[in-house]
Chain A
Amino acid sequence: GENVEQHPSTLSVQEGDSAVIKCTYSDSASNYFPWYKQELGKGPQLIIDIRSNVGEKKDQRIAVTLNKTAKHFSLHITETQPEDSAVYFCAAITDSWGKFQFGAGTQVVVTP
């Protein structure tokens, strides 16, 4: 099945700085890459996703880039704010049901 590695596991940034989280995947058939944000005590919530026919997607302060050749994709958060503090998960998904995996998560802490 798919293997997704996510780095770093923890990330501490100063408010206003940028945060970058990187995921690598193994299955070249993966073609959908969502990112989820999970706040303490809650379920994950989709914040942005990208499909394999696109190299970059942006939504306000959040952007995702995809490099299919290198099999990695990254989440970029600019101008970080305290409310960005959460755990972020990536996933790589193929057309085959059941063959997808989430990364282990990145704990992001934004300090004022």
Chain B
Amino acid sequence: DAGITQSPRHKVTETGTPVTLRCHQTENHRYMYWYRQDPGHGLRLIHYSYGVKDTDKGEVSDGYSVSRSKTEDFLLTLESATSSQTSVYFCAISDRGVKETQYFGPGTRLLVL
């Protein structure tokens, strides 16, 4: 398995609170991605990074921000969590871009009450 960890693995929070999810990789891959997975929607791209401090928006970026200060870490922040952000969040990495194999982390299950 690719060396990807996500923390926390489970989180329960209240509406309006800030939440930060962390993705850590040991593969030195350039590209990192954050997805959310919801029933009936498959995987939807939130944000991605193509290098340190280089990030861009995906399909469903509203309400989310990201940061990447080191190659190995990609943070996803929900500035003010809403119930619609209850989901399972996956981080993924790839070496040469989106048209190559993406390796996924184990996921973070987030419940916003």
Contacts and interface: CB of A to CB of B under 8 A. Distances in A.
A112 interface: no
Contacts of A101: 42, 44, 59
Main secondary structure of the interface of B (DSSP, over half): strand
A97 B42 contact: no
Contacts of A95: 99
B58 A98 contact: yes
Nearest to B107: A43
B104 A98 contact: no
Given A44-B104, A89-B43, 11 more contacts: A6-B42, A34-B102, A43-B106, A46-B101, A46-B102, A91-B43, A95-B99, A97-B98, A98-B48, A98-B59, A104-B40
A94 B39 CA distance: 24
Contacts, number: 57
Contacts of A43: 4, 90, 92, 104-107
Interface of B: 4, 40-45, 48, 50, 56-59, 90, 92, 98-99, 101-107
By size class, the interface of chain A is: 20 to 34
Given A43-B90, A43-B106, A44-B90, A98 B45 contact: yes
Given A97-B56, A98-B58, A42 B106 contact: yes
Contacts of B45: 98, 100
Contacts of A36: 104
A93 B98 contact: yes
A45 B90 CA distance: 12
A15 B94 CA distance: 34
Given A102-B43, A102-B44, A49 B58 contact: no
A49 B56 contact: no
Contacts of B50: 97
